[in-house]
Amino acid sequence: MTDKLIQRAVDLISIPSETPFGENINEKFEYCEQALDYLEDILKAMNAKTQRMVFDGGHPKWPYAVPNLYAEIEIGNYKESDPFLVYMGHIDVVPVGNTSQWKYNPFDASICNGFIYGRGATDMKTSVTTFITSVEQAIKDKTLEGKNLKIGFIITGDEEWAAINGSKKVLEFMKNNDKIPTAFIVGEPSSPDYLKDYIKVGRRGSLIGSLTVTGIQGHRAYKELYSNPNRPLNFALNLLNSIQWNDGNEYLPNTDFEIVALDAGSENATAIIPSQAKATWGIRYTDKTSAEELEVTLNNALNDIPDYLKSHPDYKIYKEFKENNKIKLVCNLSTASIPYFSVPNKLAYSAKKAMQSVLNHTPIFDSSGGTTDARFVHSFYPNADIIELGVPEKGGIVDGNIPTSYGTQGGMHQVNESVAIQDIYDLAKIYQKTIEIYAKEN
């Protein structure tokens, strides 16, 4: 299986399947189709039932067409009361950026010093080919004999950008066709450094927005000529930064607010007070709240000033700007990514046992990191188990030797993106053993 694992990873990475959005959209779409063709041929050879589907529209900003692949394999005498495990992955990748910074051709996968280099090596083409190959091997080894199980595959061409017409639409298709999975494995990178460390069981949602204060531009030395927006903006940000949430758990961090960027004056002259000051902010939030509830919370914080802040020298200025509608809060609700949390259950503990067996190490259940397509699952299947398990985010470490550029190159979305070959071998064993344990009786 080892040669097949590496060759398939190399083949898929070498297809330049950037998300089919922006420039050269038709060409990108065709490359995504080509990547799905490659995987569908493998799945058909495994006697899987496959279905291709293209979705478009559904959003005023991002209506572009997205190719998707759904497949399923029944093991034994499967019936609806038996386990139905679905793998979710994507073959679209982010742009490579400045190719002159790459040591290796990003779309001609290279093997060097125990790593495979190329765009998508970490996120997440290697995981896709590894899971499919591990299922193939389990069937060949007959390790699932005597077990009744269905294994499904959702492979999309759009996870990296809008994710409007990808996994979410395939899940909707499954729901409408009375397909009821019991659990999902999402093959996203799941540990920062070592494969053995974590299994994801949740991710916080993301809400982005802005706070804009409008004043009057004027000469710094003449107070009668300007109305400075920076001071009320600073006061407002203090109000928002003071909000505290206590809605996390042992696996999922609390909701939190952070300022992402500040923009106040671009004249490059110290004697000019700007007419506008703007802050871009971001909230990562748990499954205990929603983007709409957060919008209410932020507005309440801007309106209900604590008594201790009313003695602040900028309070009167802030109050004047607020009363004159010069302070505008915007929450980008249409682009918010929802959170999810899956209480560790049968699938999570199956993966944990598999990792203990393969790596002789006990992983930790974790919910850190950015959003993934796993967030869509509970909208359709609220009782399904979900885990995320894939190669390390930073590209991996071989034999304890940390690459000189580790952390700045080689990781997901970075220049010279890479994956350690040993992690591919280990992940294949983990996937196969997880399926075998999960397929057993409770």
| DSSP secondary structure, 20-36, as one string | S-STTHHHHHHHHHHHH
C-alpha distances (whole Å) from 272 to each of 235, 267, 318, 320, 411 are 21, 7, 20, 22, 43
Residue 340 CB coordination number (10 Å): 23
174 and 62 share one domain = yes
What string of DSSP letters covers 240-277? HHT-------SSSPPPEEEEEEEE---S--TTEE-SEE
72 is catalytic: no
Q: Give the DSSP H/E element, type plus range, for residue 52.
A: strand 49-55
Residue 272 backbone dihedrals phi, psi, to 5 degrees: -115, 125
158, 56 Cβ separation under 8 angstroms:
no
**How many whole angstroms from its chain centre is CA 152?**
20
> Does residue 211 carry a pLDDT above 80?
yes
Residues 292 and 393 in one domain: no
How many residues in the chain?
442
| Shared domain check, 173 and 64 | yes
Tens digit of pLDDT for each residue in 426-436? 999 999 999 99
Confidence class for position 267, pLDDT limits 50, 70, 90 = low
Shared-domain flag, residues 219 and 324: yes
> Pairing mode, if any, of strands 84-90 and 149-156?
parallel
Same domain, 30 and 138: yes
The pLDDT > 70 percentage for the chain reads 99
Contact 253, 284 (CB under 8 A): yes
Q: β-strands 115-117, 110-112: how paired?
A: antiparallel
pLDDT in the model for residue 91 = 98
Do 134 and 278 belong together in one domain? no
Q: For residue 349, give the 3-state DSSP assignment.
A: helix
Domain that holds residue 353: 2-203+339-439
3-state secondary structure 404-415: CCECCECCCCCC
CATH number at residue 158: 3.40.630.10
* Per-residue pLDDT at 370: 87
Same domain assignment for residues 292 and 150 = no
User: pLDDT category, 268, cuts 50, 70, 90?
Assistant: confident
Q: Is the domain of 270 the same as that of 356?
A: no
Under a CB-based contact definition with an 8 Å cutoff, are residues 126 and 89 in contact? no
Q: Show Cβ contacts of residue 402 under 8 Å, excluding neighbours closer than 6 positions.
A: none
The percentage of the chain sitting over the pLDDT mark of 90, rounded to a whole number, equals 92
The tens digit of pLDDT for each residue in 223-239 reads 999 999 999 999 999 99
My answer on whether 180 and 266 are in the same domain is no
pLDDT at 177: 97
Report the C-alpha gap between 199 and 180 in whole angstroms: 23
- Number of separate domains in the chain: 2
Check whether residue 53 and residue 135 sit in a common domain: yes
Pairing of the two strands 49-55 and 115-117: unpaired
**Catalytic residue selected from 18, 33, 158, 159:** 159
Phi, psi of 128 (to 5 degrees): -60, -50
Among 304, 320, 335, residue at a domain's last position: 335
List strand residue ranges (DSSP E) for 201-346, in order: 202-203, 205-214, 218-219, 256-263, 272-273, 276-285, 327-331, 340-341
Is the per-residue pLDDT at 442 higher than 50? Answer: no
What CATH number is given to the structural domain containing 238?
Answer: 3.30.70.360
Which residue among 302, 335, 368 closes a domain?
335
Choosing from 33, 40, 72, 92, the catalytic residue is 92
Q: Which residues contact residue 203 at a Cβ distance below 8 angstroms, ignoring those fewer than 6 apart?
A: 339, 340, 367, 369, 370, 371, 372, 374, 375, 388
- 280: closest CA among 206, 208, 204, 205? 208
Omega prior to 124 cis, within 30 of 0: yes
Which of 335, 370, 387 is a domain's end point?
335
pLDDT tens-digit series, residues 119-143: 999 999 999 999 999 999 999 999 9
DSSP 8-state symbol, 338: P
Distances (CA, A) of 300 to 100, 280, 284, 287, 297: 49, 18, 18, 21, 5
Q: What is the pLDDT of residues 279-299, one digit of tens each?
A: 999 999 999 999 999 999 999
d(CA 221, CA 356): 68
What tokens does 25 get?
Answer: 């959209």
Rounded to whole angstroms, how far apart are CA atoms 257 and 244?
Answer: 9
Residues 156 and 199 in one domain: yes
| Least confident interval from 276-280, 367-371, 386-390 | 367-371
* Residue 87 pLDDT class (50, 70, 90 cuts): very high
Average pLDDT, the chain: 95
Active site residue 40: no
CA distance 68 to 170: 8
Question: How large is the average pLDDT for residues 82-88?
Answer: 97
Residues 137 and 211 in one domain: no
pLDDT band per the 50, 70, 90 thresholds, residue 441: low
Q: Decide if pLDDT at 266 tops 80.
A: no
Cα 224 to Cα 332: distance, rounded to the nearest angstrom = 36
